[in-house]
Amino acid sequence: MHAATVDHGLRKESAGEAAFAGQLCQKLDVPHAVLCVDVAAGNVQAGAREARYAALGQWAADAGLSALMTAHHADDQAETLLMRLNRGSGIGGLAGIRESTRIPAQTGTDMPPLMRPLLDWRKSELEAIVREAGITPMRDPSNEDDRFDRARIRKALAEADWLNPLQMAVSAKHLAEADMMVRALADEEWDACVSAGREAVHYTPSRALEHPVRRPVALRIIMRAIGHLVGADRATQGMGPAANMLRKLDLGEASNVAGVLARTENSTIVLKREPYRNNSN
């Protein structure tokens, strides 16, 4: 077993917290590394998450570890579910924090699986275990920083004692199972009903799909087609723009997302790369 602490360098206390974790690991005879990362400008929370997992995944791969585990708990899951409900997310987003997944490889290195074994535990339960071991839990700075959605939702969740984070975590698990079903159907639909070329993707929806799953499957196809045409890095705008594209197509209108033009020809959805524009005089 190895341990690592990511220092995002966003707070003055972070270096001391990382050193504190290292001291605990030294007492437990567990090798520990501090991973310092640079967070891209813009969406700080999203940038920190991307940098964190890239660093942890590469560290785990370099150390030859068979899995990477993080300490996300039921309260984290409840916060994530509420945040995404507030943003109008689909079932993929509402599935929340997954029990197991894989970190996208930034290099040719195969990343180990990412596992979160504590999603059935409340934060208060974990703090009690830590205190019983004679360790004072670190102060959570996000509770005091109301600039971010998660901090505000965390505060609201703490004040709403009628909400049960454990049951919300169960709901997220059910939604994750539903999302897996839709993904599987979308894979089958892509293989059977999509012609994907370098410049265009043609999708003729299957009539065999049951009505309740037609739209979520079509949405997955649209998102995959956009990524196929312009690359996953340009297509990572979430589900919202693709859903808006699908709504316009349903109305018989053309649409443009991430440099991809889409229109409906008879019963076929045609997606093409937007033509290159030379704006020079």
What is the pLDDT at residue 11?
84
pLDDT at 144 over 70: no
Backbone angles phi, psi at 227, to 5 degrees: -65, -35
Q: What is the pLDDT of residue 211?
A: 73
Examine the pLDDT at 103 and tell me if it is beyond 90: no
Phi, psi of 76 (to 5 degrees): -60, -45
Per-residue confidence (pLDDT) for residue 34, from 0 to 100: 96
Q: What is the pLDDT of residue 112?
A: 84
Record: fold of 67-179: Rossmann fold (3.40.50)
Tens digit of pLDDT for each residue in 160-197? 888 888 898 888 889 888 888 989 999 999 999 999 98
Q: Can you give the pLDDT at residue 104? A: 66
Q: What is the pLDDT of residue 130?
A: 92
- The per-residue pLDDT of the chain, averaged, comes to 85
- Quick one: average pLDDT of 92-104? 83
pLDDT of residue 154: 81
Percent of the chain with pLDDT strictly greater than 70:
89
CA distance 85 to 129: 31
pLDDT of residue 29: 95
Tens digit of each residue's pLDDT (9 = 90 or more) over 215-267: 889 989 998 898 888 876 655 556 778 888 888 988 889 988 888 899 999 88
Percentage with pLDDT > 90 across the chain: 34
* Mean pLDDT calculated for residue range 57-86: 90
- Between residues 56 and 160, the one the model is more confident about: 56
**Total count of residues recorded for the chain:** 281
59 or 103, greater pLDDT: 59
Contacts 24+ apart (CB under 8 A), 201-205: 201/225, 201/228, 201/229, 201/270, 201/271, 201/272, 202/268, 202/269, 202/270, 202/271, 203/268, 203/269, 203/270, 203/271, 204/267, 204/268, 204/269, 205/267, 205/269
Residue 250 neighbours by CB under 8 Å, 6+ apart: none
Over the range 181-214, which residues count as b (16 or more CB within 10 Å of their CB) and which as e? ebeebbeebbeebbeeeeebbbbebeeebeeeeb
- The pLDDT value given to residue 148: 61
Q: What is the pLDDT of residue 237?
A: 57
Query: What is the mean pLDDT of the segment spanning 12-21?
Result: 91
Place 207 in a pLDDT band, splitting at 50, 70 and 90: confident
Mean pLDDT of 77-88: 85
d(CA 252, CA 187): 25
Which pTM was predicted? 0.74
Task: Kindly state the DSSP code that residue 104 receives in the 8-state scheme.
Answer: P
Statement: residue 3 has pLDDT above 90: yes
What's residue 126's pLDDT? Answer: 93
Closest Cα to residue 262, out of 14, 21, 125, 253?
253
Average pLDDT over residues 2-11: 92
Residues 1-20, mean pLDDT to the nearest whole number:
91
Cα 40 versus chain centre, distance: 17
Query: Would you kindly state where each structural domain of the chain is located, as residue ranges?
Result: 1-65, 67-179, 197-273
Is residue 149 over pLDDT 60? yes
pLDDT at 143 over 70: no
